[in-house]
Amino acid sequence: MRNTEQSRAAFAEAKEHMPGGVNSPVRSFANVGGNPPFIARAEGAKIYDIDGNEYIDYVGSWGPMVVGHAHPQVVKALQEAVTRGTSYGAPTLLETELAKLVQSVYPSIEVIRMVNSGTEATMSALRLARGYTGRDKIVKFIGCYHGHSDSLLVSAGSGLATFGVPSSPGVTKGTAADTIAVPYNDADAIRAVMEREGDTIAAVIVEPVAGNMGLVLPRQGYLSLLRDLTAKHGALLIFDEVMCGFRASLGGAQAAYGIRPDLTCLGKIIGGGLPVAAYGGRREIMERVSPSGPVYQAGTLSGNPLAMTAGIETLKILTAEPEEGKADYSRELTIKTKELLLGWQRAAKDSGVSICAHQAGSMFGIFFIDREVYDYTDAEAADQEAFRIWFDTMLDEGIYLAPSQFETLFLSGAHAAEDIERTIAAAEKGFAAVKKSRS
């Protein structure tokens, strides 16, 4: 059994100084109960808590640690960069270098603007869409998360596809009223909305591979339908690839599914784990952003030299030519992820536990349910208590997973064969614990 004494004391103290003891809600372990381990350091595929416990990490700071924690190439570059200063609030060559690296992988991004978080990227992209189209309304999908800006913290009202209502105190009814919430993967619902409201809609924003209701994949043809409907009605299609960028494939979901959005939002993976994000797209749209155009957006730390340096080194690793006889970096990650997920599926079947498993490149996840999961309603129907039991067992076995079935897991280049074998063995114990709890 893990020793958790110091983490428990640290959490108790943190609650005296921060809301819920954390600076982001999911870290509180509220969905699984218990106390979160307080992390002291990380290296490669492992993280270590203040009680001295070692874990194989499949959270990866919620996605960006695609090359592993503290990769020597990234660390060396950062050590050198910090001696030259941490922030200038002025242009650097690093910003252009990272922009060109991103654009080499994402041809839909003709012009890019660096920001500091995924929330800032999606908020800015929507402001730009409204400024470009002269329209006010946006469409989002139930279960897709795009950060905590007011216009996106909405839930559906009554009916299949409705104008949103505030889902958090502090969000005004007026703000929410311009957001239309539609079920994800429901073709009839989005067709109806676009038929009824299409000429007043500035943008449709979507996680093309949904990662915030657990990992949920788009139905065949669904993303193409969104592209066709937005083009027909003069609305912009925004792909929020903050999670699936460089993960669903090297070129993200848009490359994997062959869809060219008008705007793309990317997250902290392009900063190697440092606070950075970006939005970009068609030149004619992006040139409406200040100072080229009238749509205002700014940030003192945007494009800061440390984040740019970490991002450049991370993307260099991802885009490097593979050694002879080997697949490229992203393909290798996809293969390892599939091996892990197949192991989990075999273990669940052997234990007599039904799961639904999904993979998109190096993103993956499972639901404790005996049918396919296509949307948030399906995800909600999964057995949350079974997940909690499985999660607790995995944590005791030294496997660090996202503390909610409504989150996505990530594999890195640092995960070795023995890490995967150990994780599959731990999963077997977890599924056995779930089965025992039901008997």
Active site residues: 145, 240, 268
**Strand order through the sheet with 263-266:** 111-115, 277-281, 263-266, 236-241, 201-206, 137-142, 179-183, 162-163
Alpha carbon distance 8, 84 (integer Å): 39
Can you say whether the dihedral through the CA atoms of 144, 150, 156, 161 is positive or negative?
A: negative
Q: Which residue type occupies 374?
A: Y
DSSP 373: -
Give the phi and the psi of residue 117 in degrees, each rounded to 5: -155, 160
Task: Decide: residue 31, CB within 10 A, 0-12 exposed, 13-18 middle, 19+ buried.
Answer: middle
Report strand pairing: 263-266 vs 277-281. antiparallel
Q: Which residues pair with 238 in a beta bridge?
A: 205, 263
DSSP H or E segment with residue 400: strand 399-400
DSSP H or E segment with residue 281: strand 277-281
Q: Quick check: helix, strand or coil at residue 325?
A: coil
Q: What is the CA radius of gyration of the chain?
A: 22
User: 315 is written with which tokens?
Assistant: 């993307």
